[in-house]
A and B are shown apart, each in its own frame.
Chain A
């Protein structure tokens, strides 16, 4: 029993790490530009499929490096062409646009790579269990958690120590002032979007190795990411990280005791948080508007 619980908690932690990685990207874009990027799941799938296509040429490690960057470049272009005209308009429009984009990305993946799930090889060095007793501690899972941790640390480094990151954080608080101080807000939003999409692409490359790769992989991960943002706290990136891990572990634990509620439990958590603390666990005051 202990082993079963440990297994599911660990599993939940891994899944939660995906949610967090995806939700961090969503949160970045939402905080600076006020855009709910419904196509985030589509970008995740795109990253995964790009890695799948690159793998024969670059190997797993090469794909891991290149695919998220390619995804981010596509994201930059899409932001420039489709989303930029919508800043300053009712958030309804950007939501509808990314909603349509999500359709196109999912259907496009189905068109190019097929509706069936495709085999996604991971290096043999990562698949062997590290311990016979805790069979679920495969190298790949540990590796994923470690890589997500590195990505998150890198993100916080960028946000706290680089000029771009400081500008992003400043823009989140008061974009107008940042603009008046001579920062090109268009470029800032563009790069920020690219950064968010990079995280989605990275999540995709990693998730495909664990969940299998089919066109709907993104849609199944995006809803929990929304929940992660709401539970963790509106406007707070550490909150989003916490929210992702929390709901991952919670749904992992629920799998042990009440398997049919695995998906529903995170929404119950969201309801409770909204009831007690509408701005979320680590949310900033006044961020509910």
Chain B
């Protein structure tokens, strides 16, 4: 019975996600907004793999998100007009960069780790910004479109139909989320949680902490870069803002807002954040102030996040 009850939240989440394009319009949204929630939800959940389940604060995940975005865009534009291949290339580029940078920063902890990830994030921003001929510079990478999926027996037109694209996004999301859930349940995932709870004790138990943190960082960045590829495909466009520091901050606030100690928390945070941002930026030019104040309010009054508070209520 209790096992069944544990599955209720999962069932609710999947039910909502599966039906989203059909009721999004009725509540004042649109399909593209639904896709954006899922994509950024994936990014926030991927960040939370590192932040919430390994206890390591990265404030530079936008870099890998953006590398994924540029990876897919440049593959389709310059190499092969194929959506799946583009996603693979984008994920590979982001993951490779994370492997190199992860190796450099793995000895640092806490605020210093955060600071170095922020700083490294800027490198890719400047590359995208400066390398005009290839990346389109400040104007962004244009002149490419997501390509219809060729499944052999049928073609899925993800370009013409927003709904078809949404379900592609959801399928990728499901695969990534399932992989993360499995990883977290494995002995490896349990070890990560042990490191989060008490790094020194984990070290005394003979766990190679640096290796684990590096691996967790790389896994997290792999999933973030996949989210990045989907983000670029969603708008058939990407620009340096996708990998700037403010995007990294957005991922972190999504994770905190939803509840970074829970698996689904960041998705809920992403949904709230995306809808809020969409609404505020259509209402006022000073949306930056509104988002900034929102950050401060969440930190001061809502640090446990939606699911953290919910869980406390249920427990008491």
The chain A residues found within 8 Å of chain B, CB to CB, are 30, 34-36, 82, 85-86, 89-97, 99-104, 106-108, 110-111, 223, 226-227, 229-230, 234, 260, 263-264, 267, 270-271, 274-275, 278, 287-289
Contact = CB atoms under 8 A, between A and B. Distances in A.
B296 A101 contact: yes
Interface in B56-113: 57, 59, 101, 104-105, 107-112
Given A95-B114, A226-B115, A267 B295 contact: no
Contact of B286 (A102, A107, A287): A107
A97 B299 contact: yes
Contact of B109 (A93, A102, A223, A289): A289
Contacts of A271: 101, 104, 120
25 contacts: A36-B111, A89-B303, A91-B111, A92-B51, A93-B256, A93-B299, A95-B111, A95-B252, A96-B252, A96-B298, A97-B295, A104-B293, A106-B288, A107-B292, A110-B286, A223-B119, A226-B119, A230-B116, A260-B130, A263-B130, A267-B119, A267-B123, A274-B105, A274-B116, A287-B112
B126 interface: yes
B129 to A, nearest CB: 8
Contacts, number: 129
A107 B286 CA distance: 7
A96 B130 contact: no
B151 interface: no
Interface of B: 51, 57, 59, 101, 104-105, 107-112, 114-116, 118-120, 122-123, 126-127, 130-131, 245-246, 249, 252-253, 256, 286, 288-289, 291-296, 298-300, 303
Given A102-B292, A229-B115, A263-B122, 10 more contacts: A36-B114, A82-B296, A91-B110, A93-B303, A97-B296, A103-B288, A106-B288, A260-B130, A267-B122, A271-B104
A264 B289 contact: no
Contacts of A82: 296, 300
Contacts of B59: 95
Nearest to A99: B249
A100 B296 contact: yes
B119 A227 contact: yes
